[in-house]
Amino acid sequence: MAPVPSTTSSETFPVFEHRPPSDVDVLIIGAGPAGLMAAACLARYGVHNVRIVDKRATKIFTGQADGLNSRTLEIMQALGIGNQIMSEANEFGEVCFWEPINNGQICRASRLPATIPGISRFRYSALHQGRIERILLDKIAAWSTPSFETELKDSHRQRPITVERAVCPDLITLPSSTASALSDSVKDRIVVRLRHLTEAEAKPAQFSPLASDGLYRSNMFEDDALDAAPKGLPDTEMLEDVRCRYVIGTDGARSWTRGAVGLKLEGETTDYFWGVLDGRLVTDFPDVRMRCCIHSASSGSVLMIPREKDITRLYIQLPQVASGERPNRNDVTPEKLLARANAILAPYTIRIPKIEWYTCYQIGQRLVDQWSWNNRVFLGGDACHTHSPKRGQGMNMSMADTFNLSWKLAQVLRGIANPKILQTYQDERAPLAAELIDLDRKVAHLFSGKPATAGVSDSGISLQEFQKTMEQGARFASGTVVDYPSSELIAKPGSPHQGVKNNPEFAKNLLVGPRLESHQVVCLADAKPYQTGDLAPADGKWKIFIFGGDIAQESTCKENFEKLARFLAENERSPIKKYTPFGQDSDSVIDCITILASARISLEPEQFHDILRPVKGKHGYRSYQKIFTDDETYHHGHGHAYEKYGIDPKAGCVIVVRPDQHVSLVTHIGDHIGLAAFFDEFMLLPKSTSS
């Protein structure tokens, strides 16, 4: 296939220097939340020959996206950074709805919990994008830094992955479409030419203040970030070719990658414009630490988001412009935005002594036509979907995109899984993005439409209609109900797997497709409570949760349980035996977690098969957090996990959970063949090694 010329071909620039070409497993273009999540996950899952580039010279320091939904916080927790994120973020307590009353004033019409109770351990919170990027950047470095032991084993290890800033992709050359990413032939690689900007080029000027996607950003406060002098930029412009097995384009709404592989963002923009102001408020409005939806009778709406450090974000509806027109740029100053907010909030008043950030955006909903080029070049985040930012969904969806993609890519690159699983990325994420965009269109209309004044007219948006849509949306927005469709990775009832029969009746309250809901169990080795969510961390491994039932009192349970352990340890069809590379710990590809329904003190660790509490590494250290019971704890009550999952303690079951915590399979504890067949569908036998 011929090279696809980029829109910013290097021909127009004088070229001074060429670096020698290099080879990578994955090149990530764009270091926003989606790109950083991809890099962090790949590093964590052991894929270290990765580069990540961004055309901006510095990271974001303030403002921009800030909402973290329950599922994003679960993902952060799974990555081991939940505590840090939550200690910095501001959790939302309540949503208050303010509506116009007859005298032209507004009143608090109703209250709702900001997170639906019971939907997750984690509740909807806010933390600005800059902090989230900082935390991910630190983890990318940490997870790609070779530890002493790894270094010895793996001498061709790279240096820690860092974001290469002020680096633009310039030209992409795609191989013939049937080429294998895993081929070692250079001609099968995707070649991306990178242009390293000089200090003179890496300037704010490259960011168009009025971009074609309807988003424009104030330079006034981004100057902060952009003025922070970029370091180590070359004196002369440099070009280099990077030969990639895979490319991830997370380069935003105006994605270069998307255009380079011939894909398109389709959709529409509206004539609704909104301004955004961040700062600490001086006000007599009582609910600045709540999330508020405030509709005025005639001045438009304000959405209020309480953020970290007592900052509040205001989304302020701007006066509607004529179809196809834009607000006058001179009308979008912080002062004018604030005056508009005061008009909406009257008779309450707001001052913001120090505005932290502001911007203005046009509401529009657009969706990409395809999420990848031949499952070799993937798009993620804003490159795939753009919508209004008010519901804080952008950053969540974007990070969830690459969280979905990266474990699959890691398993393919490590030779564990067949590359065909990569097709599930689009199959799983595209319907979700479409749903998000539909919902966003609905909500944007409700927010920007003129509200009904009580008892006056029904031409506007009634509070009931508004709240109903908000409530419907809240469940979706939490991210915890995401349900992936049937595929080789999700064995729903009626799935196409050979020999795999999903048996949802063994865990009546647990759905195949969504993420595993977390419940408390107690550890046999240390008598402490653990959350099942934490027993399935995002460590790149598959998890088999063995709910063995009450093995202390039910002899059938004991028998079935011991049979399964022996099958997993000894049988030639055992996925653990088949797919664990020679010389690696038995839990390095598939990790078994045992949860029993017996009293904790009726069990002894020594009675369990070694496959269930494996020995790690050469010293023979035992794993202690592998065997649990559904029992009382000293300080945290009883988790009732069997009851909550709907598992019969006299029968038990086996649940397969993906590396991203989504449930793949529920089956009978004696269904060894079905369990084996599930993994056989997509796993690859390890190449024999001579270690």
Residues acting as catalytic residues: 66, 307, 315, 389
The total number of residues written for the chain in this structure: 691
Q: How far is the CB of 586 from a second copy (least distance, A)?
A: 17
- Region from 256-264, 479-487, 519-527, 669-677 binding a second copy, contact rule CB under 8 A: 519-527
Q: Which residues in the 347-406 window bind a second copy by CB under 8 A?
A: 351, 353-354
Residue 406 φ/ψ, nearest 5 degrees: -70, -35
Based on CB atoms, which residue is closest to a second copy, 95 or 413? Answer: 95
Q: Whole-number minimum distance, CB 455 to a second copy, in Å?
A: 24
For strands 22-29 and 238-249, give the pairing: parallel
CB burial of residue 149 (10 Å; 0-12, 13-18, 19+):
exposed
**Residue selected from 111, 153, 475, 650 as contacting a second copy according to rule CB under 8 A:** 111
**What is the smallest separation between the CB atom of 133 and a second copy, expressed in angstroms?**
21
Interface mask toward a second copy for 611-630; x: CB under 8 A: --------xxxx-x------
Q: Which two tokens stand for residue 383?
A: 């490159």
Residue from 11, 184, 335, 606 binding a second copy (CB under 8 A)? 606
Can you name the residues that pair with 568 across neighbouring β-strands?
Answer: none
φ, ψ at 46 (rounded to 5°): 90, 10
- What angle (nearest 5°) sits at the alpha carbon of residue 138, between those of residues 81 and 197? 140
**By CB under 8 A, residue 232 contacts a second copy:** no
Rg from Cα positions in the chain: 27
CA distance 529 to 242: 48
Which among 314, 318, 307 has a CA at the least distance from the CA of 285?
Answer: 314
If one asks whether residue 635 binds a second copy (CB under 8 A), the answer comes out as yes
Near a second copy in 192-211, by CB under 8 A: none
Residue choice 239, 321, 430, 525 for contact with a second copy (CB under 8 A): 525
Which one of 103, 335, 455, 634 is in contact with a second copy (CB under 8 A)?
A: 634
CA distance 314 to 523: 46
Of residues 115 and 426, the one with the C-beta less far from a second copy: 115
Of 14 and 117, nearer to a second copy (C-beta) is 117
DSSP labels for 8-35?
T-GGGS---EEPPPEEEEEEEE--SHHH
Least distance (Å) from a second copy to the CB of residue 286? 5
537 binds a second copy (CB under 8 A): no
The answer to whether residue 280 forms part of the interface with a second copy (CB under 8 A) is: yes
Handedness of CA 468, 470, 476, 481 (dihedral sign): negative
- Picking from 280, 276, 282, 279, the residue whose alpha carbon sits closest to that of residue 356 is 279
Cis peptide before 347 (omega within 30 of 0): yes
Q: State how far the Cα of 168 lies from the Cα of 193, in Å rounded to an integer.
A: 9
- Cα 449 from Cα 631, distance rounded (Å): 52
**Binding-site size, a second copy (CB under 8 A):** 40
Backbone angles phi, psi at 414, to 5 degrees: -85, 0
* DSSP 3-state of 587: coil
Of 18, 19, 528, 640, the one binding a second copy (CB under 8 A) is 528
Window 566 to 585, contacts with a second copy (CB under 8 A): none
**Judged by CB, which is closer to a second copy: 616, or 650?**
616
User: Furthest-apart CA pair in the chain: how many Å?
Assistant: 83
Shorter beta-carbon distance to a second copy: residue 23 or 284 = 284
Give the one residue of 523, 564, 592, 677 binding a second copy; rule: CB under 8 A. Answer: 523
Binding residue (CB under 8 A) for a second copy from 268, 471, 505, 526: 526
Smallest Cα–Cα separation from 473: which of 379, 387, 399? 387
Subset of residues 285 to 314 that bind a second copy, contact rule: CB under 8 A? 286, 288-290, 306, 310
Task: Determine how many CB atoms are found less than 10 A away from the CB of residue 187.
Answer: 10
The reply to whether 101 sits near a second copy by the rule CB under 8 A is: no
Q: Which is nearer to a second copy, 92 or 678 (CB)?
A: 92
The CB-of-118 to a second copy minimum distance in angstroms stands at 8
Q: Running DSSP on this structure, what letter comes out for residue 571?
A: -
220 or 601, CB closer to a second copy?
601
Q: With residue 339 as reference, give the H or E element that holds it.
A: helix 334-345
Q: How far is the CB of 104 from a second copy (least distance, A)?
A: 20
Q: Three-class SS of residue 141?
A: helix
Nearer to a second copy, 126 or 132 (CB): 126
Computed from CA positions of residues 563, 565, 569, 573, in that sequence, does the dihedral angle turn out positive or negative? positive
Query: What's the CA gap between 398 and 61, in Å, rounded?
Result: 19
Q: Which is nearer to a second copy, 321 or 525 (CB)?
A: 525
Of residues 489, 682, 669, the one with CA closest to residue 568: 669
- Residue of 87, 103, 212, 688 that binds a second copy (CB under 8 A): 87
Question: In this chain, which of 117, 232, 324, 455 binds a second copy, going by CB under 8 A?
Answer: 117
- C-beta of 417: minimal distance to a second copy in Å? 30
Per CB under 8 A, does 125 bind a second copy? no
Using the structure block, give the residue that is written with the tokens 């390095």: 588
Q: Which 27-86 positions form the footprint of a second copy (CB under 8 A)?
A: 83
Residue 123 as a binder of a second copy (CB under 8 A): the answer is yes
Q: Which stretch binds a second copy (CB under 8 A): 106-114, 193-201, 252-260, 450-458?
A: 106-114
Binding residues (CB under 8 A) for a second copy: these are 83, 87, 91, 93-94, 111, 113-115, 117, 123, 280, 282-284, 286, 288-290, 306, 310, 351, 353-354, 523, 525-528, 601, 604-606, 619-622, 624, 634-635
